[in-house]
Chain A
Amino acid sequence: MNPVVVVTLEVNGTRQQVEIEPRTLLADVLREKFSAKGTHLGCEHGVCGACTVLLDGEPVRSCLTLAAQAAGHRVETVESLAEPDGSLNELQGAFQKHHGLQCGFCTPGILMSLTALFRTTQHPSEDQIREFIQGHICRCTGYQQMIEAALDVSEHAGSAR
Chain B
Amino acid sequence: MIGEPLVRREDLRLLRGLGQYVDDIDLPGVAHLAVVRSPHPHARILAIRTEEANRMPGVLGVYTAADIEPINGRWPVHLPHKGLRAAVERILPTDKTRYVGEAVAFVVAESRYLAEDACAQVEVEYEPLPGAGTWQIALNLGEAIHEGNPDNVAAHVTQTTGDVEAALRSAPHVLHETYRIRRGGGHSMEGRATAARYDASLDTYVVWDATQTPHGARRFLATCYGIPEERFRVIAPPDVGGGFGPKGQRYPEEMAVPWLSKQLGRPVKFIEDRYEHFLTSCMEHPQEHVVDVAFDDDGVLLGLKDVFVSDMGAYGTSLIVPTIAGCTVPGPYRIPNLHIEFTAVFTNKVPQSAVRGAGRPQGVYVMDRTIDRIADYLGLDPAEVRFRNLIQADQFPYPVGLTFRDGSPLTYDSGDFPELLQKGLDLIDYPAQRKLQAERRAAGAYRGIGISVGLEGVGLGPFEGATVRLETTGRATVVLGAPPQGQGFQTTYAQICAEFLGLDVDQIDVVTGDTSLIPYGTGTFASRVMANAGPALATAASEVKTKLLESAASLLEAAPEDLEVSEGQVRVRGMQQGVSLAEVAQASNVGRPGMSMAKDMVPGLTASAYFNPERAGYSSSVQVCVVEVDPETGEVEIVDWAVGHDCGRIVNPLLVEGQVLGGIAHGLSNALYEEALYADDGTPLTVSYLDYPIPSAREMPWIKLYNQETPSPLNPLGVKGAGEAGTLGVPAVIAAAVEDALRPFGIQIRDCPLSPGFIGDLVDEARTRAAADDDRGPDDQGS
Direct contact between A and B judged by beta carbons closer than 8 A? yes
Question: Could you say which residues of chain A place their CB within 8 Å of the CB of B664?
Answer: 142
The answer to whether B190 touches A103 (Cβ under 8 A) is yes
A contact residues, total (Cβ < 8 Å): 58
Q: Which residue of B lies closest to A129 (CB)?
A: B697
Query: Which residue from A88, A131, A140, A145 sits with its C-beta under 8 Å from B16?
Result: A88
Question: Could you say which residues of chain B place their CB within 8 Å of the CB of A82?
Answer: 15-16
Known: A139-B662, A142-B665. A101 touches B698 (CB 8 A): no
Is the C-beta of B121 less than 8 angstroms from some C-beta in chain A?
A: no
Q: List 12 A-B contacts (CB under 8 A).
A: A24-B113, A37-B23, A40-B241, A103-B189, A103-B190, A133-B698, A138-B665, A139-B187, A139-B188, A142-B664, A142-B665, A143-B661
The answer to whether B696 touches A134 (Cβ under 8 A) is yes
Query: Which residue from B17, B113, B186, B690 sits with its C-beta under 8 Å from A77?
Result: B17
Query: Which residue from B8, B14, B240, B696 sits with its C-beta under 8 Å from A137?
Result: B696
Is the C-beta of A78 less than 8 angstroms from some C-beta in chain B?
A: yes
Query: Which residue from B16, B690, B697 sits with its C-beta under 8 Å from A92?
Result: B16
Known: A77-B17, A78-B16, A142-B726. A97 touches B7 (CB 8 A): yes
Known: A96-B12, A102-B486, A139-B666. A42 touches B190 (CB 8 A): yes
Instruction: Give min CB distance, B772 to chain A, whole Å.
Output: 41
- Encoded as 1 (CB less than 8 Å from any A CB) or 0, chain B from 4 to 32 comes to 00011011101111110101100000000
Q: Tell me the B345-387 residues at the A interface (CB within 8 Å).
A: none
> Which secondary structure characterizes the binding site on chain B?
loop
6 further A-B pairs in the complex, CB-CB below 8 A; given A37-B17, A105-B188, A135-B696: A24-B113, A88-B16, A99-B654, A106-B189, A138-B697, A142-B662
Distance A37 CA – B14 CA, assembled complex (angstroms): 11
The answer to whether B15 touches A136 (Cβ under 8 A) is no
- Chain B residues proximal to chain A, CB less than 8 Å: 7-8, 10-12, 14-19, 21, 23-24, 57, 113, 186-191, 239-242, 244, 273-275, 485-488, 654-655, 657-658, 661-666, 688-690, 694, 696-698, 700, 702-703, 726
Instruction: Give min CB distance, B380 to chain A, whole Å.
Output: 33
Question: Could you say which residues of chain A place their CB within 8 Å of the CB of B666?
Answer: 139, 142
Known: A1-B57, A41-B273, A136-B697. A50 touches B7 (CB 8 A): no
Question: Could you say which residues of chain A place their CB within 8 Å of the CB of B655?
Answer: 99
The answer to whether A133 touches B654 (Cβ under 8 A) is no
Is the C-beta of A111 less than 8 angstroms from some C-beta in chain B?
A: yes
Known: A107-B14, A144-B661. A131 touches B694 (CB 8 A): no
Known: A2-B57, A45-B274. A50 touches B698 (CB 8 A): no
Q: Which residue of B lies closest to A49 (CB)?
A: B696
Distance A78 CA – B19 CA, assembled complex (angstroms): 11
Query: Which residue from A38, A104, A134, A141 sits with its C-beta under 8 Å from B658?
Result: A141
Query: Which residue from B187, B191, B239, B690 sits with its C-beta under 8 Å from A104?
Result: B239
Distance A82 CA – B12 CA, assembled complex (angstroms): 10
Question: Could you say which residues of chain A place their CB within 8 Å of the CB of B273?
Answer: 41, 43-44
Q: Which residue of B lies closest to A1 (CB)?
A: B57
Known: A47-B690, A101-B14, A104-B239. A38 touches B19 (CB 8 A): yes
Question: Could you say which residues of chain A place their CB within 8 Å of the CB of B700?
Answer: 130, 142-144
Distance A129 CA – B187 CA, assembled complex (angstroms): 24
Is the C-beta of A48 less than 8 angstroms from some C-beta in chain B?
A: yes
Distance A41 CA – B189 CA, assembled complex (angstroms): 8
Distance A57 CA – B213 CA, assembled complex (angstroms): 41
Distance A77 CA – B15 CA, assembled complex (angstroms): 12
Known: A97-B7, A137-B189, A147-B697. A111 touches B703 (CB 8 A): no
Known: A38-B19, A47-B688. A143 touches B189 (CB 8 A): no
Is the C-beta of A23 less than 8 angstroms from some C-beta in chain B?
A: yes
Instruction: Give min CB distance, A30 to chain B, whole Å.
Output: 10
Q: Which residue of A lies closest to B242 (CB)?
A: A103
The answer to whether B657 touches A145 (Cβ under 8 A) is yes
The answer to whether B658 touches A130 (Cβ under 8 A) is no
Q: Which residue of A lies closest to B6 (CB)?
A: A99
Question: Could you say which residues of chain B place their CB within 8 Å of the CB of A88?
Answer: 12, 15-16
Instruction: Pick the 5 closest A-B CB pairs, nearest first.
Output: A38-B17, A103-B486, A105-B241, A104-B14, A142-B661
- Encoded as 1 (CB less than 8 Å from any B CB) or 0, chain A from 52 to 66 comes to 000000000000000
Distance A95 CA – B662 CA, assembled complex (angstroms): 15
The answer to whether B16 touches A40 (Cβ under 8 A) is no
Distance A141 CA – B696 CA, assembled complex (angstroms): 11
Is the C-beta of A13 less than 8 angstroms from some C-beta in chain B?
A: no
Known: A103-B486, A139-B662, A143-B700. A38 touches B18 (CB 8 A): yes
The answer to whether A43 touches B57 (Cβ under 8 A) is no
Q: Which residue of A lies closest to B271 (CB)?
A: A41
Most chain B CB inside 10 Å of its own CB: which residue of A47, A79, A139, A146: A139
Is the C-beta of A36 less than 8 angstroms from some C-beta in chain B?
A: yes
Is the C-beta of A75 less than 8 angstroms from some C-beta in chain B?
A: no
Q: Tell me the A103-122 residues at the B interface (CB within 8 Å).
A: 103-108, 111
Question: Could you say which residues of chain B place their CB within 8 Å of the CB of A158?
Answer: none
Distance A136 CA – B665 CA, assembled complex (angstroms): 14
The answer to whether A139 touches B703 (Cβ under 8 A) is no
The answer to whether A36 touches B17 (Cβ under 8 A) is yes
Known: A77-B17, A78-B16, A105-B190. A45 touches B690 (CB 8 A): yes
Distance A41 CA – B688 CA, assembled complex (angstroms): 14
Is the C-beta of A86 less than 8 angstroms from some C-beta in chain B?
A: yes
Question: Could you say which residues of chain B place their CB within 8 Å of the CB of A142?
Answer: 658, 661-666, 700, 703, 726
The answer to whether B658 touches A145 (Cβ under 8 A) is yes
Known: A96-B12, A134-B696, A142-B700. A48 touches B17 (CB 8 A): no
